[in-house]
Amino acid sequence: MSDKFKFAFRVATSLTLAYMIPMALGWTQPSTAATTVMLIASTGSRRESMAKGTLRVLGTIAGGIIGLLLVGLFAQDRLLYMLAVSLVVVVVFYIRSAYLNDPTLFMLTGVMILMMYNGGNAEGAFIYGIDRTFMTVFGVVVYTLVGVFLFPPKIEQNLRQLGDDLTRVQKDLFESMSVPPKQKPLAEPADSSDNGDTDVGPASPTLAELSKAVFAAQQAFETRYQTLNSECSEVSAYKKEWDGTVALYAQITELLLFAAKEQSRSGAHPIEYIRGFDELRKEVIQLFERLPDAWEKQAAHSPQPLDPVEYDGDRLEQAGHLYRGEALSSGYLINQLRERLAKLESCISSIDSLTGTVDFDLPPLKAKPNFNWWDAENAKSSIKVFVTYWIAAAFWIQFNPPGGYNFVIFSTLFVSILSFLPFHPVMLLILFTLGFVFSVPAYVFLLPQLTLGAELALFIFIYTFVGFYVLKGPVTIFFLLGMFTLGIDNNMVYHFGITLTIVTLFYMTVLSVVISYYLPFSSRPEHLLLVFRERFFRHATGVIRLLQFEQLSLWQKIQLAWRVTTMVVALKKMQVWGSKFNTDPYPSLTTERLNRYISQCDLFHHHLMTFIKARKKLNENPLLAQAQKGNRDTVIPALSQALWIADRPETERRNAELLKQDYQDLEARLDEYFSHLELEKYSNSDIAGFYIFLNLKKNIFESLLSCKQASDDVVWEELSVKRF
């Protein structure tokens, strides 16, 4: 049974129980509980917990209270009530979009506020609101209990697997960048006389490809842990050790990226100036290989003391500053790697251990923010919600369409959920029509023949299972709407006109969503790709320029945090929309070129984030601070800006060779500067820090250059052509 099967089975079971239990007990509005299950399953995560369910219940109750208060305050004045509801709902749905954890918490709050208004009928509004709140809470409870007890995922096993995957790619990167020159495989030139019969083995991955794999594995491990951290008792029981494990993994990744480079600036290799380098390399590899076994150990153990790295002192005294800097930085990184790996093994073995905990200080794990208030699409979505609410409300007041005020509720709700999602609006019409095609024969030929509750339950289960097994994400809602057109209840009134009325209501709702796709802000993928591309490099350029300052003011620190957050979000959206982008209408654009460009942007982003993390220590380096005063970097900011405004006619496209020459001139000036310094006055860690800084800057420059080369292969002008 795959994860997809288990998820569809859990949702189908939840929705069936949400229908059948209220009907068996004679409760009203069973479809409200079923709709709640559908919304949570379509928009929430696949992992359930009691804590998450409790928060959803509290959000539902809070929304019901707010909705009833608004009804009580403004029930006699419809327009004033609708104005109050529209403003409150806009705020709630904006918070829902900005919330980085389970979004259904605030979604249910907004849903309850919308549902409290009984179609403009103030009589019985309180009882109506209580019934709706109760059935919504019931749906939340059913979905939570089924999700917790039916097919519960093995959380620790999942995290261990991600940790082992990260260990493997980290080891591969270290082996590749530390292999001695005599062991490196040489690429043989192609023989023109070869007829193609010779088998050629797969090429070894480059350091850039391995670095990208490490970035991806680290991000997957951290993201999964942050998702489960607050809700999983298996993790929270050993939270200190888990936090330390994640933090140590991050430090090892950073150390590897500090040293990852295709070739040495001095032309030498650590085997030439570090004594016993082969043994040290094997020791580090063995430490990597022991990490998977540490998960199975039942007894915690302390890290063993390590022998210090020894240099060839006589050779270093006679060498120039480049050679000496390479030696000290390589020794520093190897020593730090050994220390971190030994601590990580001890920390992992302490998880689930009954014999003790770690006896050393663990690095703190930086907490992830719960909200992202800097997303422009969240603000645009809120405006879309406000506009849609009033257009639908005006249509309801003027023409009283089928479904009445429910048309306003569903239009506002679905626009808020589906705003700026990578789908084409025609797909919604197709899915709903498909659901309608399934439901009409069932309404005519199947439902009248069902006499047992078990038969009805089986029908609901199969319909829901098919929807969530075949489809995924919020678009599943429109397939399941076909079932809600049946009006399933204890007292069925079979009248095809009623079904057509409900179908018309939902077709009008789909039309509202389609209109919101274009107005008041366009959600066309070609438009959004251009927006996210420009936004990503605009803020990346701002980050690079802010990092040029030795000390940042309070305003600059706030600005740096804002630009970093916006840059990261823009890249994630560019990745999502790029993966769903259809390049067929564009003759000069291929999926491979677009994916290569986005992949290079991701690599650049990771190198820049690594530099930001190391910035605090680098700023404390006196050698580096003195060097930066007279050698300001202008090449990297200019290259980043060229990528930001590359499509503007007044901007000249810079030649890659000229950019490389400019950067080499900057490095040459630094070499000349350091040739006149007495390095004996500085500590080994200061010298190592300077060369780590140079390597980080070189990685940023080369990744930016790769971004430019990939960008030049994409004809961005084609995306600017107006298409409906």
Please write the tens of the pLDDT for every residue from 93-120: 999 988 888 788 888 898 888 888 766 5
297: left (phi over 0), alpha (psi -120 to 50) or beta: beta
The radius of gyration of the chain's CA atoms, rounded to the nearest angstrom, is: 30
CA distance 217 to 606: 12
Q: With cut-offs at 50, 70 and 90, classify the pLDDT of residue 624.
A: confident
Across the range 205-213, mean pLDDT stands at 83
Q: What is the pLDDT of residue 190?
A: 43
CA distance 136 to 151: 24
Q: What is the pLDDT of residue 196?
A: 47
CA distance 95 to 375: 11
Across the range 138-143, mean pLDDT stands at 91
Q: What is the pLDDT of residue 461?
A: 92
Do the beta carbons of residue 152 and residue 120 sit within 8 Å?
Answer: no
What percentage of residues in the chain have a pLDDT greater than 90?
9
Do the beta carbons of residue 321 and residue 271 sit within 8 Å?
Answer: no
CA distance 111 to 699: 48
Across the range 14-18, mean pLDDT stands at 92
CA distance 578 to 597: 10
182: DSSP letter: G
Max avg pLDDT among 418-432, 507-521, 651-665: 507-521
CA distance 559 to 539: 10
Domain boundaries defined on the chain: 3-153+374-518, 158-179+207-350, 525-719
User: Could you tell me the pTM of the whole model?
Assistant: 0.81
When the pLDDT of each residue in the chain is averaged and rounded to a whole number, the result is: 80
Task: Retrieve residue 369's tokens.
Answer: 């923010």
Do the beta carbons of residue 381 and residue 420 sit within 8 Å?
Answer: yes
Do the beta carbons of residue 525 and residue 422 sit within 8 Å?
Answer: yes
Burial label, 381 (beta-carbon count in 10 A; 0-12, 13-18, 19+): buried
Q: What is the pLDDT of residue 591?
A: 84
Residue 568 clears pLDDT 80, i.e. is over it: yes
Residue 388 clears pLDDT 90, i.e. is over it: yes
Q: What is the pLDDT of residue 17?
A: 93
Q: Which of 13, 19, 35 is nearest to 477 (CA)?
A: 35
Residue 63 clears pLDDT 50, i.e. is over it: yes
Residue 467 clears pLDDT 60, i.e. is over it: yes
Do the beta carbons of residue 617 and residue 682 sit within 8 Å?
Answer: no
Across the range 78-82, mean pLDDT stands at 87
Across the range 468-486, mean pLDDT stands at 82
Residues 6+ apart with CB under 8 A from 296: none
Q: What is the pLDDT of residue 186?
A: 45
Do the beta carbons of residue 104 and residue 55 sit within 8 Å?
Answer: no
DSSP 137-170: HHHHHHHHHHHHHSS---HHHHHHHHHHHHHHHH
Residue 236 clears pLDDT 80, i.e. is over it: no
443: DSSP letter: I
Could you give the dihedral angle defined by the CA atoms of residues 212, 215, 219 and 221, in that order, rounded to the nearest 10 degrees? 100
pLDDT digits (tens, 9 = 90+) for 309-335: 787 777 766 666 667 777 777 888 888
The length of the chain in residues reads 724
Residue 557 clears pLDDT 60, i.e. is over it: yes
Measure Cα distances from 28 to 67, 131, 136, 491 in Å.
20, 8, 12, 11
Q: What is the pLDDT of residue 74?
A: 82
Q: With cut-offs at 50, 70 and 90, classify the pLDDT of residue 712.
A: confident
497: DSSP letter: H
Q: With cut-offs at 50, 70 and 90, classify the pLDDT of residue 723.
A: low
Residue 187 clears pLDDT 50, i.e. is over it: no
Across the range 679-691, mean pLDDT stands at 73
Q: With cut-offs at 50, 70 and 90, classify the pLDDT of residue 84.
A: very high
Q: Which of 264, 150, 269, 262 is nearest to 210 (CA)?
A: 262
Q: With cut-offs at 50, 70 and 90, classify the pLDDT of residue 194.
A: very low
3-state secondary structure of 694: helix
Residues 6+ apart with CB under 8 A from 609: 564, 568
What are the two backbone dihedrals, phi and then psi, of residue 353, each rounded to the nearest 5 degrees? -85, 145
Across the range 638-655, mean pLDDT stands at 61
